[in-house]
Amino acid sequence: MTEKLIKEWNIESTPVQIYHSAWDINNSYVLKVYDDPTTLQRNIVMMQTLYEAGIPVPKIIKLPDGRDYSENGKEFYILTTKLKGKNIVNLNECDDRWFFEFGTILAKLHIAFQTCEEHISCWNGSILEEMNGWVSENFSKFKVEYLEMNDIKDSINELAEVYDDLPKQLIHRDVHLGNFLFDDGVFSGYIDFDLSQSNIRIFDLCYFLLGLLLEGDNNRVEEERWYEIIRQVIKGYDSIAILLDVERNAIICVMQNIELLFTAYFLGTGDEKSAKGSADLFSFVKRNKEKIQDALI
């Protein structure tokens, strides 16, 4: 079906599926499918705005009649250029300087996102509302032996105390190594804005740093190295987009709430193993507050 569809762009090719919703086209383009027209339209505006601002993101290839996407029943397809480069797959090859540079790369994306906010209506997310809403409900519904309810409540209350003072803006919301491309060690582009929303900007920093502890067994960073990585990423980010003191002081709290959020999510889906993994990471952050705080100074 996708082979027939790609002909709408006057391209002859046999698409190669690279993940469930995307296909490689001649190693030059990427065809991506959406089932939500609102998400599709938001991403189109976002990518076009970023591209026009000179940010390295895929360029949308219009159909011959000028449309941005093709519609096939309840599915919508866009074609974009395929950026050069690939994902970093071996964290052991990344030195302190690399992580400093990654902090600058994320900061530059956040600054570019501020331009997008002038042109699109963002989904206004609130991690605090989620924590007080469905997250708390799931913890009440699914009793867990490996978390204390008082610890959960304390973490949410700590977030509530500072939430109004935390800067909010459009963020990526899915910052992991798979969504940043590098060509011969040089950063070449950002991809995948499907989860982008307006939220506290340090969410992206916290999400990325936590994710480094969840990489595969052969690619997971050692605990002591992780603290130095925190220091370098934060320093890099701060060199481009200065963090407020309230943000720096809230990073540990936000990390804890992110892991509670994922614990509650996995409980709701019946994935007990992943729920326990997120809960263990929450406990790890709570247990090592002083080491993390030292890395943030």
Spell out the CATH class of 2-81: alpha beta
Q: How far apart are CA 12 and CA 4, in angstroms?
A: 9
The predicted structure's pLDDT at residue 38: 87
pLDDT under 50: residue ranges of the chain: none
Q: Domain segments of the chain: what residues?
A: 2-81, 91-296
> Do 208 and 175 touch, CB atoms closer than 8 A?
yes
Q: How far apart are CA 214 and CA 54, in angstroms?
A: 32
Query: How many CB atoms neighbour CB 193 within 10 A?
Result: 23
State which H helix or E strand residue 249 sits in.
Answer: helix 245-269
Which residue, 190, 41, 196, is CA-closest to 125?
A: 196
Please report, as a single letter, which amino acid is at residue 53: A
> Do 182 and 280 touch, CB atoms closer than 8 A?
no
Summarize pLDDT for 159-168 with one digit per residue, the tens. 999 999 999 9
Q: How far apart are CA 99 and CA 126, in angstroms?
A: 28
- 2-81 and 91-296 have identical folds: no
Topology, domain 91-296: Aminoglycoside 3'-phosphotransferase; Chain: A, domain 2 (3.90.1200)
Summarize pLDDT for 81-106 with one digit per residue, the tens. 999 999 887 888 889 999 999 999 99
The predicted structure's pLDDT at residue 89: 78
Beta strands at 22-25 and 29-34: parallel, antiparallel or unpaired: antiparallel
Q: What's the whole-model pTM score?
A: 0.90
